[in-house]
């Protein structure tokens, strides 16, 4: 996997693993990242992994971001898990 390019998004952790911490990484980039961060995200994680994070009931995304990404990825609230 590609290394994290932007450490400033993960100021609250010293060591982050792109496999073990994928949900955290995906949520953080979807919430706070810019276009370059999102591009990195799409190169590292498959679309179905991103959708799983968006569909979670206990997402760390704020309501506005969550609604935006659900529209982008066509994730219906009924399928949230």
- Does residue 33 lie in a domain region? yes
To the nearest 10 degrees (0 to 180), the angle between helices 22-32 and 63-72 is 100
Q: Structurally, how many domains does the chain consist of?
A: 1
The residue among 66 and 16 whose pLDDT is bigger is 66
Domain interval for residue 71: 18-75
Confidence (pLDDT) at 10: 82
- 75 confidence band (pLDDT: 50, 70, 90): very high
Query: What CA–CA distance (Å, rounded) separates 29 from 38?
Result: 6
Q: Please enumerate in sequence order all residues whose Cβ is within 8 A of that of 78, keeping only pairs 6 or more positions apart, or say none.
A: none
pTM, rounded to two decimals: 0.83
- Residues 9-55 pLDDT 10s: 887 887 888 899 999 999 999 999 999 899 999 999 999 999 999 99
- Does residue 52 lie in a domain region? yes
């Amino acid at each position: 996997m590609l290394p994290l390019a932007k450490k400033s998004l993960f100021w609250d952790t010293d060591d982050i693993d792109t496999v073990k911490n994928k949900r955290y990484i995906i949520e953080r980039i979807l919430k706070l990242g810019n276009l370059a961060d999102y591009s990195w995200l799409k190169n590292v994680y498959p679309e179905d992994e991103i959708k799983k994070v968006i569909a979670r009931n206990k997402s760390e995304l704020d309501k506005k971001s969550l609604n935006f990404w659900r529209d982008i990825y066509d994730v219906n609230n009924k399928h949230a898990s």
